[in-house]
A and B are shown apart, each in its own frame.
Chain A
Amino acid sequence: MSRLSGGLIDRSQRLSFTFDGKSYSGHPGDTLASALLANDVRLMGRSFKYHRPRGVVSSGSEEPNALVELRSGARQEPNTRATMAELYDGLIANSQNRVGSLAFDLLAVNDLASPFFAAGFYYKTFMWPKAFWEKLYEPMIRKAAGLGSLTKLADPDDYDKGFLHCDLLVIGGGAAGLAAALTAARAGARVILADEDFRLGGRLMAETHTLNDAPAGDWIAALEAEFDALPNLRVMRRTTVFGAFDHGIYGAVERVSDHLATPGKAVRQTLWRITAKRIVLAAGATERHIPFANNDRPGVMLSGAMRTYANRYAVSPANRVAIFTNGDDGHRTALDLMAKGVEIAGVIDTRTEAKALGKYPLFAGAVVSNAKGRLGLKSLEITRDGTSHWIEAGALGVSGGWNPNVHLASHHRGRPVWDEASLAFLPGTDLPPGMVVAGAAAGRGTTHGALTSGAEAAVAALGAIGITAALPDLPRAEDAPQAQSAFWHVPGKARAWVDFQNDVTVKDVKLARQENMVPVEHLKRWTTLGMATDQGKTANVTALAVMAELTGKTIPQTGTTIFRPPYTGVSLAVLGGGDTGAHFRPRRLTPTHEWAKSQGAVFVEVGQWMRAQYFPRKGETTWRETVDREVLATRAGVGLCDVTTLGKVDVQGADAGEFLNRIYANAMASLKVGMVRYGLMLREDGHAYDDGTCARLAEDHYVVTTTTAQAGPVYRHMEFARQCLWPELDVQLISTTDAWAQISVAGPNARMLLERIVDGFDISNEGFPFMACAELTVCNGLRARLFRISFSGELAYEIAVPARYGAALMGRMVEVGADLGATPYGTEALGVLRIEKGHAAGNELNGQTTAQMLGMGKMVSTKKDSIGAVMSRREGMVAETRTLVGLMPVDATEPVTAGSHLFDEGAAQKTETDLGWITSACYSPHLASGIGLGFLANGKDRIGQVVIAANPLQGQSVRMRVVSPHFVDPEGGRLRD
């Protein structure tokens, strides 16, 4: 078949492309589907279940059959509708869901076995013998299922997200949408017009109707020129509005570069979040077909799509075409095709009263009852009054009426309403707020009806937000009522397809009825109706009508289905929006990050932070070697560690002490100025929440630290307490986590090191005792805060300076402390030091533990009301006997593994006998043994006993001695020296 005349294709340019390895050519303006038809390719795909040969059915996004794998390599995309793929030079497409070639698919054997694959079949079988389901049947089914394939290569393209705001969002750029956008834009409103097509006009491009007695294209061209001059109007072509969300937010995908071979420097697609005050939905309508025996032959297509191919793309699927219709609309197709020189084999109209509108054979009161031509339609059986005959035709256009595209109108779960006059579901009254529906989507499908309803919708929508718009002069347009009869399917014994892609036939609907799967959701789920990539756009209403007929109910009594986002498939990559790989989450860097990098540090992810994990030196071959050195150097000399990531909250105000009294389980109001206290916070449910230090810098000024992980939540919690619980207190909060660099200086030489940098400040043990704090200056005038606190059990301090000086301070301390053994250490050594000292951290404060378990039950003051105190005294929490203990292997060469469970020696190891678990473990270079912390039932009473640490996951069972959790300096003398 050569091209027809006319059309919106650029014949001056040729684009070459391949389909299943064979080369073809088309023109700019073509889709892959139109170009294939122009090259006489009718067979484009295979159906899901029976692997039936299939051709293109539609010309739009509702296409169920012509799905291809587009592009190659890492850019290969499965299930792309040939009807939506814009042709570009070098396009590569392959058919999918076949074994062997498209014409000789080995899995077509499924079609022969189709009696076994009826609705609900799978649920009744594959159960014998028991093991065979997973060993044999299911793997077979999985292999045969699916459509296109993904490569296992990372998507190489870029994606973006954007936010848009407008007074009016117009969805759909056909007659109604254009009229709405024009009306609104002329009124000065901020307007967005979005259409999934690459060209504006909608069905104006598919029909031969004139506007003001001129081709519709003239009017569209004039309009586009005006649009270009309106700065308040944004026209978004190739943009699908896929979902209506809350408060006027619409999701849209712009296919920025999908019409190009590669995106080049551009993104492939952009996800837009459009916030619209008002919305005009002008999404048009989708034609439905009429099931008859073998109505899925390649070449059988929607009659309206045939007009699109002929008028817009200048192509006919065959030289000789027949039409099967239940209304006037099919006749239009016959006339349009005849005008382009295509032979009409006949129009088969179900209505006995039908009249021919032109010179073509009319079969009134007749139906198409069968079709032949496995790989391409050859002939049709026409039945009238019980007698049948066959005619030859290479294509059949089927016109069963139009379904308004009400999808977005029901994304808020409003149900469409059946309209008997137009034999269609129209948008109901329960629309997303601010939405007005216009044009064919509202059942006003004549050109005149679409134009006027679009303009009126814009006026009404804008009026509601105080913008006055005037109705524009709209062009004269056809307004012919389209008569149609309620004819839903051709009865017969052979299979007649309702849902093409998923191979749901009228028989399946009947079987569902027979098996009492009548509610529409049961029908869908039992038969898989509407679950294919087209989401039932061409099938659901027809199936409902068939079910209604079978049950003797009306269509509205039979039900409707809810439409959910997305309107059409949206790539997962664009929904992710490009925040992938290393950019998945922000990377927070500590003030000493670059310095640590220069020291060769290895970094580790700690939430969003990157922290130095350890600082390997030349000659060290394992991380353990490095960490052991860092730990020993700290305990022998002085270690330096960036602890900036700990959360810091500045608390100020006359009632700061009282506020903290209520936040912490222990008392804070009594803390003396210049001193620090360890603080434990509970959640209101009585469990331990977070711990840290609370330093009082002045009567009305505290600085609170939190754990790294809980910095955000604790601050939020404190603001909740301040604003919602005790707004009467005079207290202000601000997070200063990022404002101060904080460095831990730990080890016997810590004081000597600090003495070399403080500016004449007395940090002697007497002048600055354990748990003291002060504001001072260091390094000749640099503002600093000093806290004498210890996480390692050593004589230790934390020093804070404004964040921008953090790296310099660290460098200075390493330099001036060289002779003292100043050694930077990372999070690994930090962990070892704290386990050796028996300090709780994240593994112990895991949200499931209590103050009592942590050995801090007495800290929960009964003298005051604080968050969590009441609930911590509940029966079950008091009855909990597990407490924090230290654990050492009886044989020091045995491993200690966090996550091991603790059992009595000789006890059966099961849930009921479980005594606890190891929370944290490390190798202690100090003790030359593995050590662990853990929660153990009646732990305090078991010191000295031996328990089994069982880790069957890794085949470990280790005898462990229960010891104090303070492996190092249990009396705490070093801290206070």
Chain B
Amino acid sequence: MLIPHPLLGLRDAQEFTYLGDASLIHRPDGMAENAAETFFDYVYLRDNPAGVHRELWFHEQGDRSWLVVTRDTTTHEILGAELARDVALAAKGGAQ
């Protein structure tokens, strides 16, 4: 597979390490009252879609960026890639 790195262009997927669903960016507040519940959901439950999936890849053999890659799990077609940091900052900005 080839991953369109937003800074470096198309890179072989072998340069990357895969983590999983991009929802892992949205870590709940560990000090909140309902943390046990929200963390169970965050750590263990997955949508696991057959279709478009947003997922985290780490450019380990490259610039060490974490990326959010949007990929179809039925065809492996890649629909886009963003810096995870940008996605995370946007999410935090949205929450504020």
Q: Do chains A and B touch in the complex (CB under 8 A)?
A: yes
Known: A723-B65, A724-B56. A865 touches B85 (CB 8 A): no
Specify which chain A residues have a CB less than 8 angstroms from the CB of B29 in the assembled complex: 865
Known: A433-B77, A865-B31, A869-B30. A724 touches B25 (CB 8 A): yes
A248, A433, A728, A870 — which one has the most chain B CB atoms within 10 A of its CB?
Answer: A870
* Identity of the chain B residue whose Cβ is nearest the Cβ of A866 in the assembled complex: B30
Rounded to whole angstroms, the CA-CA distance of A684 and B23 in the bound complex is: 14
User: A667-685 CB contact bits vs B (8 Å, 1 = yes)?
Assistant: 0000000000000000011
Known: A684-B43, A685-B43. A727 touches B58 (CB 8 A): no
Rounded to whole angstroms, the CA-CA distance of A727 and B66 in the bound complex is: 11
In the complex, are the beta carbons of A870 and B35 less than 8 A apart? yes
In the complex, are the beta carbons of B25 and A870 less than 8 A apart? no
Selected from A433, A728, A865, A874, the residue in CB contact (under 8 A) with B92 is A728
In the complex, are the beta carbons of B88 and A724 less than 8 A apart? yes
Interface residues of B in 53-90 (CB under 8 A from A): 56, 58, 60, 64-66, 75-78, 83-85, 87-89
In the complex, are the beta carbons of A724 and B39 less than 8 A apart? no
Interface residues of A in 683-727 (CB under 8 A from B): 684-685, 712, 716, 719-720, 723-725, 727
* Identity of the chain A residue whose Cβ is nearest the Cβ of B87 in the assembled complex: A724
Known: A865-B30, A871-B43, A873-B36. A247 touches B92 (CB 8 A): no
Give the secondary structure class of B's interface.
mixed
In the complex, are the beta carbons of B39 and A871 less than 8 A apart? yes
* Identity of the chain B residue whose Cβ is nearest the Cβ of A662 in the assembled complex: B30
Known: A433-B77, A723-B66. A716 touches B60 (CB 8 A): yes
Specify which chain A residues have a CB less than 8 angstroms from the CB of B35 in the assembled complex: 870
Interface residues of B in 35-61 (CB under 8 A from A): 35-36, 39-40, 42-43, 56, 58, 60
What is the CB-to-nearest-CB distance from A435 to chain B, in angstroms, rounded to a whole number? 14
Query: A275 at the A/B interface (Cβ < 8 Å)?
Result: yes
User: A262-302 CB contact bits vs B (8 Å, 1 = yes)?
Assistant: 00000000000001000000000000000000000000000
* Identity of the chain A residue whose Cβ is nearest the Cβ of B24 in the assembled complex: A724
Selected from A247, A727, A870, the residue in CB contact (under 8 A) with B2 is A247
Interface residues on A, range: 20 to 34
Selected from A412, A712, A727, A870, the residue in CB contact (under 8 A) with B89 is A727
Selected from A246, A249, A433, A716, the residue in CB contact (under 8 A) with B17 is A716
Interface residues of A in 500-549 (CB under 8 A from B): none
What is the CB-to-nearest-CB distance from B27 to chain A, in angstroms, rounded to a whole number? 5
Specify which chain A residues have a CB less than 8 angstroms from the CB of B25 in the assembled complex: 724-725
Selected from A249, A412, A685, A727, the residue in CB contact (under 8 A) with B85 is A727
Rounded to whole angstroms, the CA-CA distance of A716 and B17 in the bound complex is: 9
Query: B1 at the A/B interface (Cβ < 8 Å)?
Result: yes
Rounded to whole angstroms, the CA-CA distance of A712 and B88 in the bound complex is: 23
What is the CB-to-nearest-CB distance from B3 to chain A, in angstroms, rounded to a whole number? 9
In the complex, are the beta carbons of A275 and B2 less than 8 A apart? yes
In the complex, are the beta carbons of B30 and A870 less than 8 A apart? yes
In the complex, are the beta carbons of B76 and A247 less than 8 A apart? yes
Rounded to whole angstroms, the CA-CA distance of A249 and B11 in the bound complex is: 12
Selected from A719, A727, A869, A873, the residue in CB contact (under 8 A) with B64 is A719
Interface residues of A in 870-887 (CB under 8 A from B): 870-871, 873-874
User: A407-428 CB contact bits vs B (8 Å, 1 = yes)?
Assistant: 0000010000000000000000
What is the CB-to-nearest-CB distance from B83 to chain A, in angstroms, rounded to a whole number? 8
Selected from B36, B42, B66, B75, the residue in CB contact (under 8 A) with A720 is B66
A248, A727, A865, A871 — which one has the most chain B CB atoms within 10 A of its CB?
Answer: A727
Give the B interface residue count (CB, 8 A).
33
Specify which chain A residues have a CB less than 8 angstroms from the CB of B87 in the assembled complex: 724
What is the CB-to-nearest-CB distance from B25 to chain A, in angstroms, rounded to a whole number? 5
* Identity of the chain A residue whose Cβ is nearest the Cβ of B58 in the assembled complex: A716
What is the CB-to-nearest-CB distance from B49 to chain A, in angstroms, rounded to a whole number? 18
Rounded to whole angstroms, the CA-CA distance of A246 and B17 in the bound complex is: 17
Specify which chain B residues have a CB less than 8 angstroms from the CB of A728 in the assembled complex: 89, 92
In the complex, are the beta carbons of A249 and B1 less than 8 A apart? yes
In the complex, are the beta carbons of A725 and B27 less than 8 A apart? yes
In the complex, are the beta carbons of A719 and B58 less than 8 A apart? yes
Specify which chain A residues have a CB less than 8 angstroms from the CB of B43 in the assembled complex: 684-685, 871
Rounded to whole angstroms, the CA-CA distance of A723 and B84 in the bound complex is: 7
Specify which chain A residues have a CB less than 8 angstroms from the CB of B76 in the assembled complex: 246-247
Interface residues of A in 429-453 (CB under 8 A from B): 433
In the complex, are the beta carbons of A249 and B2 less than 8 A apart? yes
Specify which chain A residues have a CB less than 8 angstroms from the CB of B30 in the assembled complex: 865-866, 869-870
In the complex, are the beta carbons of B92 and A246 less than 8 A apart? no
Specify which chain A residues have a CB less than 8 angstroms from the CB of B85 in the assembled complex: 723-724, 727
In the complex, are the beta carbons of B88 and A723 less than 8 A apart? yes
* Identity of the chain A residue whose Cβ is nearest the Cβ of B27 in the assembled complex: A725
* Identity of the chain B residue whose Cβ is nearest the Cβ of A713 in the assembled complex: B17
Known: A247-B78, A866-B30, A870-B30. A727 touches B17 (CB 8 A): no
Specify which chain A residues have a CB less than 8 angstroms from the CB of B89 in the assembled complex: 727-728
Interface residues of A in 857-874 (CB under 8 A from B): 864-866, 869-871, 873-874
Specify which chain B residues have a CB less than 8 angstroms from the CB of A864 in the assembled complex: 31
User: B1-42 CB contact bits vs A (8 Å, 1 = yes)?
Assistant: 110000000000000010100001101011100011001101
* Identity of the chain B residue whose Cβ is nearest the Cβ of A245 in the assembled complex: B1
Rounded to whole angstroms, the CA-CA distance of A684 and B24 in the bound complex is: 11
A685, A712, A716 — which one has the most chain B CB atoms within 10 A of its CB?
Answer: A716
Rounded to whole angstroms, the CA-CA distance of A476 and B55 in the bound complex is: 54
What is the CB-to-nearest-CB distance from B57 to chain A, in angstroms, rounded to a whole number? 11
Specify which chain B residues have a CB less than 8 angstroms from the CB of A865 in the assembled complex: 29-31
Rounded to whole angstroms, the CA-CA distance of A615 and B36 in the bound complex is: 51
Rounded to whole angstroms, the CA-CA distance of A716 and B57 in the bound complex is: 11
In the complex, are the beta carbons of B66 and A719 less than 8 A apart? yes
* Identity of the chain B residue whose Cβ is nearest the Cβ of A684 in the assembled complex: B43
Specify which chain B residues have a CB less than 8 angstroms from the CB of A412 in the assembled complex: 75
Specify which chain A residues have a CB less than 8 angstroms from the CB of B84 in the assembled complex: 723-724
Rounded to whole angstroms, the CA-CA distance of A716 and B75 in the bound complex is: 28
Specify which chain B residues have a CB less than 8 angstroms from the CB of A716 in the assembled complex: 17, 58, 60
Selected from B1, B36, B42, B66, the residue in CB contact (under 8 A) with A724 is B66
Rounded to whole angstroms, the CA-CA distance of A724 and B40 in the bound complex is: 19
Selected from A247, A712, A723, A870, the residue in CB contact (under 8 A) with B39 is A870
Interface residues of A in 889-921 (CB under 8 A from B): none
Specify which chain A residues have a CB less than 8 angstroms from the CB of B24 in the assembled complex: 724
* Identity of the chain A residue whose Cβ is nearest the Cβ of B90 in the assembled complex: A727
Rounded to whole angstroms, the CA-CA distance of A716 and B19 in the bound complex is: 10
Rounded to whole angstroms, the CA-CA distance of A864 and B60 in the bound complex is: 30
Rounded to whole angstroms, the CA-CA distance of A248 and B12 in the bound complex is: 11
Rounded to whole angstroms, the CA-CA distance of A358 and B24 in the bound complex is: 75
Specify which chain A residues have a CB less than 8 angstroms from the CB of B77 in the assembled complex: 433
Rounded to whole angstroms, the CA-CA distance of A874 and B39 in the bound complex is: 11
Rounded to whole angstroms, the CA-CA distance of A964 and B24 in the bound complex is: 40
In the complex, are the beta carbons of A720 and B19 less than 8 A apart? yes
Interface residues of A in 232-264 (CB under 8 A from B): 245-249
Known: A246-B1, A720-B58. A727 touches B92 (CB 8 A): yes
Specify which chain B residues have a CB less than 8 angstroms from the CB of A433 in the assembled complex: 77
Rounded to whole angstroms, the CA-CA distance of A140 and B36 in the bound complex is: 59
* Identity of the chain B residue whose Cβ is nearest the Cβ of A685 in the assembled complex: B43
What is the CB-to-nearest-CB distance from B86 to chain A, in angstroms, rounded to a whole number? 8
Interface residues of A in 723-739 (CB under 8 A from B): 723-725, 727-728
What is the CB-to-nearest-CB distance from B88 to chain A, in angstroms, rounded to a whole number? 5
What is the CB-to-nearest-CB distance from B17 to chain A, in angstroms, rounded to a whole number? 6
* Identity of the chain A residue whose Cβ is nearest the Cβ of B74 in the assembled complex: A413
In the complex, are the beta carbons of B88 and A725 less than 8 A apart? yes
Which 6 residue pairs are nearest across A and B when measured between Cβ atoms? Answer: A865-B30, A247-B2, A723-B85, A870-B39, A723-B66, A246-B1
Q: A249-B2, A727-B92 provided; 20 other pairs, C-beta below 8 A?
A: A247-B1, A247-B78, A248-B2, A412-B75, A684-B42, A685-B43, A712-B60, A716-B17, A720-B58, A723-B83, A724-B56, A724-B84, A725-B88, A728-B92, A865-B29, A865-B30, A865-B31, A870-B35, A870-B39, A871-B43
| Sample (16) of A-B pairs whose CB atoms are under 8 Å apart | A246-B2, A247-B78, A248-B2, A716-B17, A716-B58, A720-B66, A723-B65, A723-B66, A723-B84, A723-B85, A724-B25, A724-B88, A725-B27, A727-B88, A728-B92, A865-B29
